[in-house]
Amino acid sequence: MPAASSSFDTVVDERGIFTDYAYFSSMSSTWLDHAARFCADVTRRLALGPGSFVVEVASNDGYLLRNFVAAGIPCLGIEPAANVAAIARAAGVPTEACFFGRDAARDILGTRGGRPADLVVANNVLAHVPDLDDFIGGLALLAGPRGVVSIEAPHLVALVDGVQFDTIYHEHYAYWSLLAMEAALARQGLRVFDVERLATHGGSLRVFSAAADHPPSTALLALRAEEAGRGVGGDAFYSGFGPRVRAVLDGLRAWLDGCVAEGRRVCAYGAAAKGNTLLNAAGVSAAEILAVADRSSAKQGRLLPGSRIPVVSPAAMLALRPDDVLILPWNIEAEVAGQLRTAGFAGRLAIAVPRLILRDAPV
């Protein structure tokens, strides 16, 4: 799948990013719970059972598909990162390690005598795709004339409203409104018939589409009208975003400078890409943040790019006795805060997006 090219942007080769990957979805209980609810709901909605077939593209470590395995519903994961695919297979989730597109879809259909999938899932992957027509064309092939394609993606409107600039980084090739997604799916013969709004990633969409003609849901008609009313298709919708980003960075910078002046010890939690984007944009270094904790052993013992802040285990971070912990993955703030309070951290917790918020320990 060749990387797209543009006269305006430098596009990073996806094979250099995703062939060996350090993100594991099962590290987050928030994501495990979200996946379990989706699988239960869609199983009822589509009446899936032992005679059905489910494919997830970008299936990571099998965190979602293991729910279908447990329910006795045949499934297959497609995951480009060989190291992550191996973990999924070890957990009992059938997984192919390859990049996805039309050729991969044809290979899967070939092993099944041409029988399409009943459900094709593509969660939080559409932003990572440089060749959209090849990727979505593959989804359409897998679903065939009667299958359903379910896609989750962070909503562009939420990104703009929430000043979520830290999700704009090299792994993401596009940012999705319903307007743009419907157009991209329609080019490959997929018609959107329903949409759900989700709280994940600070505001996401779950979009259902199919080659078959389904009547549009009330929720779909309402979101189409909302995006049109907000002017998502025009330039004016995005005006002022830059100054709002600058305000977030200035707020973080001022707080950290104040902590240094007061002699407060600051650490951070979550060695995720969004956090690294935030820290580098604000010019943060290891002189201001002592360490970043992460539950993934694949990240521990490394340094964050640019800032050179060491990545350690949560226990090692707490052993540094920080006064404040900055939660970088603000989208799972409640989960992280619960873990830290349970572990005995009694200092202040902070998030920086969409503005700096400090939370004292409950009395």
Q: Specify if 347 maps to a domain.
A: yes
CB 142 within 8 A of CB 105: yes
Residue 109 to residue 210: CA distance in whole angstroms: 17
Q: Residues 187-213: pLDDT tens digits?
A: 999 999 999 999 999 999 999 999 999
Provide the 10 A C-beta neighbour count for residue 224: 16
Q: What is the DSSP letter of 320?
A: T
Q: Residues 333-343: pLDDT tens digits?
A: 999 999 999 99
Q: Which neighbouring-strand residues pair with 124?
A: none
Can you tell me the mean pLDDT for 14-30?
61
Residue 220 has pLDDT above 70, yes or no: yes
Same domain, 218 and 70: yes
Which of 200, 217, 238 corresponds to the end of one domain?
A: 238
Q: How many domains does the chain have?
A: 2
Q: Specify if 1 maps to a domain.
A: no
Same domain, 214 and 288: no
Same domain, 220 and 343: no
pLDDT at 1: 29
Amino acid making up residue 237: F
Which of 200, 223, 238 corresponds to the end of one domain?
A: 238
Nearest C-alpha neighbor of 178 from the set 149, 206, 212, 144: 206
Same domain, 251 and 231: no
Q: Specify if 309 maps to a domain.
A: yes
Same domain, 271 and 248: yes
Which of 173, 203, 238 corresponds to the end of one domain?
A: 238
Q: What is the DSSP pairing of strand 266-269 with strand 292-293?
A: parallel
Same domain, 210 and 341: no
List the CATH number of the domain containing 256. Answer: 3.40.50.720
Confidence of residue 51 (pLDDT cuts 50, 70, 90): very high
Same domain, 197 and 285: no
Cα–Cα separations (whole angstroms), residue 173 to 10, 12, 180, 260, 304: 10, 9, 13, 36, 22
- In this predicted model, which residue has the larger pLDDT, 91 or 22? 91
Provide the 10 A C-beta neighbour count for residue 37: 11
Amino acid making up residue 16: G
CB 155 within 8 A of CB 162: no
Q: What is the DSSP letter of 300?
A: T
Percent of the chain with pLDDT over 90: 87
Same domain, 127 and 218: yes
Can you tell me the mean pLDDT for 318-343?
96
Q: Residues 96-155: pLDDT tens digits?
A: 999 999 999 999 999 999 999 999 999 999 999 989 999 999 999 999 999 999 999 999
Q: Specify if 221 maps to a domain.
A: yes
Confidence of residue 306 (pLDDT cuts 50, 70, 90): very high
Same domain, 99 and 171: yes
Percent of the chain with pLDDT over 70: 92
Give Cβ neighbours of residue 243 (< 8 Å, ≥ 6 apart).
Answer: none
Residue 253 is part of which domain span? 241-359
Q: Specify if 3 maps to a domain.
A: no
Residue 81 to residue 2: CA distance in whole angstroms: 17
Q: Specify if 8 maps to a domain.
A: no
- Backbone CA torsion sign across 300, 301, 305, 310: positive
Same domain, 141 and 262: no
Same domain, 189 and 164: yes
Residue 20 has pLDDT above 90, yes or no: no
List the CATH number of the domain containing 201. Answer: 3.40.50.150
Same domain, 122 and 193: yes
Q: Residues 69-85: pLDDT tens digits?
A: 999 999 999 999 989 99
When mean pLDDT is compared across 2-6, 31-35, 318-322, the lowest value belongs to 2-6
CA angle 207, 213, 218 (to 5 degrees): 50
Residue 196 to residue 204: CA distance in whole angstroms: 8
Q: Specify if 60 maps to a domain.
A: yes
Provide the 10 A C-beta neighbour count for residue 107: 11
Q: Specify if 330 maps to a domain.
A: yes
Residue 267 to residue 311: CA distance in whole angstroms: 10
* Mean residue pLDDT across the chain: 93
Where does residue 234 rank: exposed (0-12), middle (13-18), buried (19+ CB within 10 A)? exposed
